[in-house]
Structure 1
Amino acid sequence: MEKPLSIAAIKALLNDINHPLDERIAVFRLDQRKGVSTALTSWEKRLEKEREKERKLKIMLEHEQLIWGSGLSLIAGIDEVGRGPLAGPVVAAAVMLPTDIQILGINDSKQLSSEKREQLFIEIQKHALGIGIGIKDQTVIDDVNIYQATKLAMLEAIQQLPQVPDYLLIDAMRLPTSIPQESLIKGDSKSLSIAAASIVAKVTRDRMMAEYDLLYPGYGFAQNSGYGTKRHLAGLEKIGVCPIHRQSFSPVRQALNNSF
């Protein structure tokens, strides 16, 4: 009688099986060992998660599919990160995805772990038709206000693309440009292009803030990205204002006043 596969061997095989009708699954279901049953349950959960990601991908491409169907092939999704922090720049990204894009797991960057964002950032860079980044620092923010600085960062991101897009999908913003555009409220959860842009912008800005943390320690920039956390506010009170703080923002302005 042939010796059954070990549970470890079955688990290894399940890692490479991605279809419920694979004939090996029927064989494994006949195995009475608890370890095999547990492995099958885990496999089924993994498969369902993958199917859910595929469904999510299809839903988040609905806006793009309509535009692509009209004959416009270059769609730039645009989003920003960093409107709320007390320090650092506002960063915008513009991302153009191919019509056959199949990256699973792209979502609003706020819904993803930092590790997952980094993984998807690499995949987006690998498959995107073009990526543009726009950065406006604290001096611009203080000069024109955060809303206008965000617009300027988005326009810069478009200018940094290798090709002029046919159409723009923008997260909750309208831009002064002749390129046809659509503003989507909560667009980073409705459009794959905007979600991809949110990931690129978030990873780019987080990396910048980690570098600023080395230059200006004591505020926790690597952990809080410049937002007004307890540690950041304590740093403001103890150390004072540093060069990347936004002086037009109330807590920073108050810290400046207290230093006199």
Structure 2
Amino acid sequence: MTKQLTIAQVSEMISDSKLSADELLQLKQDKRIGVKKLVEKYERQQELEKLEKEKFVEMMTFEQARYLMGDNYIAGIDEAGRGPLAGPVVAAAVILTEDFYLAGLNDSKQLNKRKRDYFFDYIKTNAFSYGIGIIHNNEIDSINILQATKKAMKSAIQQLDPIPDHILVDAVKLDELPCTSESIIKGDQKSVSIAAASILAKVTRDRLMEELDKEYPMYQFASNMGYGTKDHLLAIEKYGITPYHRRTFAPVSNYSNL
């Protein structure tokens, strides 16, 4: 049957559905080079999907432990922007449903921009609840970056509905929360909830920095996101600092505004 199909038809057949064992066996018996290449591509894709699913299941370990304890609403918390010289620190809190699945979900820093943007929209649409907290540079200078990060995280948590039963936080330890919590080192690589939060936080912050870039293009905020790259430091030396720079951060603190 498969030998009667054109290569274009085989390609459509493979792309439209998951092949049965019999269908795959028949295609493997086809001697045409084009079909062999399509089968190899299909098998590579199936292996990738298998690995992504295994990784996702592994990253559900912390959530599953809480589900087994009777918790229904588990929030993941992460931030973006603790280290830059300019711009806000942004935190996100996300509650996912127990059956949530997003192949390839990982720490936002491990994903390219196209995938982050897609995941950002998918998570916002399919999350049970989410919140985003933003603390701007002036307040960061006033209360320090650690306290600003915690304040952004708590702001994100306060936006959640319902109140979570348990909170998973990436690295930071939070107190005075409405429920139990645990801090997980490299949590954005170990928990799907934290990974989802990392994507919401990073994409939100990146888009804010892209807007600042339109106002101050000489600092290249759209590409460096406020981090102290060589070009960014040279721009500070040449033009001084903007209203969005963190004045308490070295080497920003060494310059006065022009």
Q: What band does the TM-score fall into relative to the shorter chain?
A: over 0.9
1: distance between equivalents of 2:113 and 2:66? 31
Q: Percent identity?
A: 49
Look up the match of 1:85. Answer: 84
Q: 1:203 to 1:12 in 2, by over 3 A?
A: same
Correspondence for 2:200: 200
Structure 1 unaligned residues grouped into runs of 5+: none
Does residue 211 of structure 1 match 2:211? Answer: yes
Give SS of 1:231's match: helix
> Which residue matches 1:64?
63
Alignment of 1:44 with 2:76, yes or no, is no
SS of residue paired to 1:248: coil
Give secondary structure in 2 for the equivalent of 1:236: helix
| Equivalences for residues 136-155 of structure 1 within 5 A | 136-155=135-154
- What is residue 97 of structure 1 aligned with on the other side? 96
Structure 1 residue 155 displacement after superposition: 0.5
Q: In structure 1, give the amino acid aligned to 2:112.
A: S
Deviations 1:14-54 (A, max 9, x none): 112325x4432122111101111111111111011101111
Correspondence 1:226 to 2:226? yes
For the Cα contact (< 8 Å) 2:3–2:30, is it kept in 1? Answer: no
The 2-side partners of 1:221 and 1:187 are apart by 27
For 2:215 and 2:128, the matched residues in 1 are separated by 34
Distance between the aligned counterparts of 1:227 and 1:8, measured in 2?
48
1:126-205 matches, cutoff 5 A: 126-178=125-177, 179-205=179-205
Counterpart for residue 237 of structure 1: 237
CA distance in structure 2 between the aligned counterparts of 1:68 and 1:36, rounded to whole angstroms = 45
Q: TM-score, normalised by structure 1?
A: 0.95
Distance across 2 between alignment mates of 1:190 and 1:158:
20
Aligned residue pair count: 257
What TM-score comes out, normalization by structure 2 length? 0.96
Displacement of 1:162: 2.2
Segments of 4+ in structure 1 off by > 3 A?
Answer: none
Moved more, 23-32 or 200-209: 23-32
Give the superposed CA RMSD: 1.5
Structure 2: gaps spanning 5 or more residues: none
